[in-house]
Structure 1
Amino acid sequence: MSERLQPGDTAPDFSLPDADGKQVSLADHRGRKVIVYFYPAALTPGCTKQACDFTDNLQLLAGAGYDVIGVSPDKPEKLAKFREKEDLKVTLVGDPSKETMEAYGAFGEKKLYGKTVTGVIRSTVILDEEGKVERALYNVKATGHVAKLIKDLKLEG
């Protein structure tokens, strides 16, 4: 079971391919706050809702100095389909090896319909401008999560 991150931890660096196959590195975002969210699969109902919520609130988040990166185990081709189908504006990257997810504590045992399974744990990690963890939220709900995040970060207009 991978260790969960705690506030104050240095976020593990990563470089993963986006929907266009270009490498997106956490280091490229130094100097900005970053919301890294982990979701199980592109083009599924819950993950679509969550990605659309982040897209709908991207202007507010970006205006407050946050970049948003969504991470799933999907390959770039599937991420591109997801982005186009849902008109997503957030940066989506693929982690087929699940190494980054494990490093962030977002892959491991979870409960699914009462059974213990191994998989992606829907998680959101908020990093400061230096790449340190401000908040690490695990087992978040797909629906309503972005609204709660905005409230918790006191970004409501």
Structure 2
Amino acid sequence: ELICVVTMLLSVLAVKAQKEIRCYSCTTMDAEQLLQDVQDPNWRRWLENVRYVPHTNDCNDPFLTDRALRSGVRSQVCDNGVCMKMWFQQKDGTANVWRSCIPNAREQIRSDCTRISSAQGDMEVCTCDSHLCNSSPLQLSIVTALIFLVARFLI
């Protein structure tokens, strides 16, 4: 009986460990300026979260973990969520980064990158679902990496 109880407890802990990851949390953005520029109420509500993450230029790429942590970057628990890195570049060349967690989104959001270009500039949003994965400058999904490898062998 004791073995069954221990096995069950270890199984529960393993499932919890799989759902709970940590993500880096920081931004280089001026949150107040960003929120003034965004008119859409749904985007605005979500972007309010940028106010609560540490502001430091060490959040930029290349992301040097030790230096970033010394400058105030935190790692946060991301329960059943995905890590996110959002990169903006305005037409004048000004670039900003926001790294954070999107909690309770593991079932809805897959690991991937999406890039959007507009008259105002470019934005890239990358999501990933492993421990502290939002430190990389670019997160390639496994599918993207496989397509790239297959294409190289076919060419």
- TM tier, smaller: under 0.3
More relative contact order in 1 or in 2 (CA 8 Å, sep 6+)?
A: 1
Q: Which has the larger radius of gyration?
A: 2
Normalised to the residue count of structure 1, the TM-score between the two structures is 0.25
